[in-house]
């Protein structure tokens, strides 16, 4: 895909008044790859992503691998394998001596024939396959890694980062060892998140709700029509809004932020009452707050985040710490979901730099 110069990266940070916790040193070579993975039914699928390589003499050098998971994106073409800046975090860490891996994620990029596992733990399988594909790619190109693996992401990417860390330690520990992870501002507790949103009067991101419906309805085999959950005209719109051709912003424009207008009265009553047990069980199963991490975790979250509630990180910290985790929560004072993105990445990058070999 070409080379992005360190000068461009430094100018980009300066021109946009952004601090991301790194000062680019190396030019970065960017490659788009296609790799093999599977869907939730075990069927083989192809997925795509980008690899970012420091442009220097690789002789006698070994690099840590950084897997960076992007935030919510419903338009299939808005991915790093097509537009390298979509994997901005993996790009910038490559400029200071990491191998950057940015998965498009299943259901996005080349993977146009399946639903995206949005805030569903299965999403991590394709991330692990991307890390494996990245290791194989660099090995075949004469580049060595040092066995360190850093995992990060923000918003949906925070959820994906946590799910990936969990999956590796529980299923792939004989193949990979996580050095550290920074799952930032993610909806780690899907039970808390779903209750919080359903009980609100308004929610600014109805596209997130629609994306969640499409994901869980398919992967959990609920197989229920949209009008079981949503009122007209939104029930009729949602499948087309979530078909991979629209951004979340475009979806939001065709939906409503009023929860009593978006959801049916019956669904709200059942979900906040004793009903909808199958859906509640699915959210509980895909919550990421009850396991025992081995590698250290840094959570970062803005205290005024009402898009992905700050308490997601408080709950994750408290429950995982009770399970023996080495886990820290960095709270960004007055931070919203949008304003906390770069301060969060700065905290993560600085922390990773203290662990990087």
Q: Among the CATH numbers 1.10.260.160, 1.10.10.10, 1.10.3720.10, 2.10.109.10, which is that of 199-285?
A: 1.10.260.160
Residue 197 CA to residue 206 CA, distance in Å, equals: 10
The torsion angles phi and psi of 201, rounded to 5 degrees, stand at: -75, -40
Mean pLDDT, the chain, as a whole number?
96
Helix (H) or strand (E) holding 262: helix 259-262
Residue 249, token pair as written in the block? 């912003």
pTM: 0.95
Largest distance between two CA atoms of the chain: 64
Instruction: Characterize 51-88 residue by residue with b for buried, 16 or more Cβ atoms within 10 angstroms of its Cβ, and e for exposed.
Output: bbbbbeeeeeeebbbbbbbbbbbbbbbbbbbbebebbb
What is the residue whose two structure tokens read 């992005």? 4
Cα distance between residue 195 and residue 128, in whole Å: 30
Beta strand segments in 104-193, E: 144-154, 180-184
From the list 13, 8, 99, the residue with the least C-alpha distance to 342 is 13
What confidence tens digit (pLDDT) does each residue in 253-278 have?
999 999 999 999 999 999 999 999 99
8 Å CB contact between 52 and 67:
no
357 residues of the chain, pLDDT tens digit each? 799 999 999 999 999 999 899 999 999 999 999 999 999 999 999 999 999 999 999 988 999 999 999 999 999 999 999 999 899 999 999 999 999 999 999 999 999 889 999 999 999 999 999 999 999 999 999 999 999 999 999 999 999 999 999 999 999 999 999 999 999 999 999 999 999 999 999 999 999 999 999 999 999 999 999 999 999 999 999 999 999 999 999 999 999 999 999 999 999 999 999 999 999 999 999 999 999 999 999 999 999 999 999 999 999 999 999 999 999 999 999 999 999 999 999 999 999 999 999
Residue 37 exposure: Cα atoms within 13 Å on the Cβ side: 29
Class of the CATH-defined domain 2-189+289-355 = alpha beta
Q: Which two tokens stand for residue 204?
A: 């600014």
Residue-range domain boundaries for the chain: 2-189+289-355, 199-285
Owner of token pair 């109805």: 206
Q: What is the pLDDT of residues 203-212, one digit of tens each?
A: 999 999 999 9
Cα–Cα distance between 347 and 51 in angstroms, integer? 23
């Amino acid at each position: 895909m070409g080379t992005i110069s360190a000068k461009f990266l430094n100018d980009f940070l300066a021109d946009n008044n952004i601090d991301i916790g790194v000062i680019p040193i190396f030019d970065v070579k960017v490659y788009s790859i296609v790799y093999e993975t599977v869907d939730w039914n075990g069927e083989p699928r192809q997925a795509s992503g980008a690899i970012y390589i420091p442009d220097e003499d690789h002789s006698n050098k070994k690099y840590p691998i950084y897997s960076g998971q992007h935030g919510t994106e419903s338009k299939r073409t808005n991915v790093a394998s097509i537009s390298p800046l979509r994997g901005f975090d993996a790009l910038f860490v490559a400029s200071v001596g990491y191998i950057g891996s940015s998965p498009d994620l299943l259901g996005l990029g080349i993977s146009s024939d399946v639903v995206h596992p949005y805030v569903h733990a299965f999403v991590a399988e394709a991330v692990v396959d991307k890390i494996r594909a990245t290791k194989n790619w660099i090995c075949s190109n004469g580049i060595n890694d040092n066995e360190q693996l850093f995992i990060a992401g923000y918003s949906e990417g925070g959820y994906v980062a946590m799910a990936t860390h969990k999956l590796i330690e529980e299923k792939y520990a004989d193949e990979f060892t996580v050095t550290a992870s920074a799952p930032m501002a993610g909806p780690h507790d899907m039970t808390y998140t779903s209750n919080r949103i359903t009980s609100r009067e308004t929610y600014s991101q109805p596209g997130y709700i629609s994306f969640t419906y499409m994901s869980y309805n398919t992967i959990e085999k609920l197989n229920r029509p949209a009008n079981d959950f949503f009122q007209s005209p939104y029930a009729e719109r949602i499948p087309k809004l979530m078909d991979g051709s629209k951004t979340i912003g475009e979806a939001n424009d065709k939906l409503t932020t009023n929860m009593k207008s978006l959801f049916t009265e019956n669904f709200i009553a059942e979900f906040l009452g004793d009903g909808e047990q199958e859906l509640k069980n699915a959210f509980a199963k895909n919550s990421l707050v009850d396991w025992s991490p081995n590698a250290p975790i840094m959570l970062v979250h803005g205290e005024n985040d009402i898009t992905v509630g700050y308490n997601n990180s408080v709950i994750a910290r408290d429950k995982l710490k009770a399970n023996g985790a080495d886990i820290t929560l960095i709270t960004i004072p007055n931070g919203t979901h949008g304003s906390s993105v770069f301060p969060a990445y700065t905290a993560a990058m600085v922390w990773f730099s203290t662990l990087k070999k």
